[in-house]
Amino acid sequence: MAPRRPLFEHALHPTLPPPPDDPVVVTGLGMTTPQGGDAPSSWTALLAGESGAVALPWAQALPVRIGAPLRADPVAALDRVEARRWDRCQQIAVIAAREAWADAGAPDVPAERFGVVIGTGLGGGGTLVAQHERLKELGPDRVSPFAVTMLMPNGPAAAVSLALGARAGAHAPTSACASGAEAIALGLSMLRAGRADIVVAGGAEACLGELSLSTFARMGALSRRNDTPTRASRPFDAARDGFVMAEGAAALVLEKASHARSRGARPYATLAGAGLSADAHDMTAPAPDGQVRALQEALRTARLNPHDVTHVNAHAPGTRVGDRVEASAILAAVGPHPLLTATKSATGHCIGGAGAVEAAFTALTIHHGVIPPTLNLTDPDPEVKLEIVADAARRAHVTAALSNSFGFGGHNVVLAFTKP
């Protein structure tokens, strides 16, 4: 008889490098979301089951008339020059990064050892639309001289680098709805490669407008529950009909544990690993095997067995196909035991900021031992064979958790967090 294969073969593979002696930890968090203008208010509202979805007064002529805008006006947190020269996406990236930096204790680090990675999906799309309208109405001489730097996708990363004085690198992954998570994975790589001593990583998106709503609606991705916006985002529910488009940004301060100890910083969680894969399957439809590979790679790089995982913050946008594919991938790669939540049920889908917002929520889940609820799960999809935390937040001892992000184009990113 052939010898029995181990439950998780990768964990015993002899070619794997040994676990890092100096793991990467999360020492600062910053957010601005439809739930609140900072991380504490966003977390409190999330645990209370507050939805950020509202009827949009300016969208009443559109087929989809709901969305989840920011709770706090970013302009109020910036000086006049910053507000004028930065696109809204850049503004919220800087607001989240500054909060995270202050939360981490504003570390004293040489600029050449300080890196930034901020992802976005649509970037300065709002600026592009507004400036094109200005060109048509007023002529080329009235286009903003700041338009190029406001609309470029690397603008949020550049703005954060400038605002905080980071010179080890300012990277800007653009991988649709996985952008924020990919930025955090790249930040982990920078630290493990010795390119920086500290990294601010995250994602931002603020492109909630007539064109973006119309285009996502045209492809059938958005919920059309216009009369009940707070009930529209329904991940894993049998009656789900698409996501609610949202704005939001989050940033995490990452550093080696030894660096954090040397300055007396307290970590929220350890960023233990990350898994990335590409589907090469379809521009919008997910491929289950691609998600499975990303989940397995996150476990492998985090030195986790599937049974170690207590919790998964699911990507779960509330689309008919997407939620089922993800659930089957989790079942195949991890098993039926983790407690799931889908925080997009409350925040809506922050597109390029979603992965960072959900990573921050996952770190807070580990830190506080509380899993946020999944809203609007009144009739669970019978094809989803997993336990989902619904109705109310649940106390749990979470020792290891995964945060999933999957983007159009077949971009798959899974982040693995553990208790520090």
Q: CB within 8 A of 49, min separation 6: which ones?
A: 346, 373, 375, 391, 392, 393
For this structure, is 315 an active site residue? yes
Q: Which of 259, 349, 367, 411 is catalytic?
A: 349
Token pair in block for residue 74? 């970013």
What is the sign, positive or negative, of the torsion defined by CA atoms of 360, 362, 367, 373? Answer: positive
* Tokens 């580990």, residue located: 366
Cβ pair 253, 160 in contact under 8 A: no
Burial annotation 132-145 (CB, 10 A radius, 16+ → b, else e): eeeeeeeeeeeeee
Cβ pair 179, 120 in contact under 8 A: yes
Q: Which of 171, 259, 311, 315 is catalytic?
A: 315
What is the sign, positive or negative, of the torsion defined by CA atoms of 68, 360, 406, 381? Answer: negative
Token pair in block for residue 84? 């004028």
DSSP bridge partners of 382? none
Burial class (CB in 10 A: 0-12, 13-18, 19+), 113: middle
Helix axes 39-47, 88-103, angle to 10 degrees: 90
For this structure, is 411 an active site residue? no
> Residue 419, Cβ neighbours under 10 Å: how many?
17
| Greatest extent of the chain over all pairs of C-alpha atoms, in Å | 80
Amino acid in the structure at residue 209: G
Token pair in block for residue 365? 């889940």
Is beta strand 387-388 parallel, antiparallel or unpaired with respect to 339-341? parallel
Best CA proximity match to 96, nearest among 123, 122, 115, 78:
78
How far apart (Å, rounded) are the C-alpha atoms in residues 6 and 31? 41
Q: CB within 8 A of 126, min separation 6: which ones?
A: 87, 88, 89, 206, 207, 209
Q: Which of 177, 207, 259, 311 is catalytic?
A: 177
DSSP bridge partners of 418? 270, 400
Active site residues: 177, 315, 349
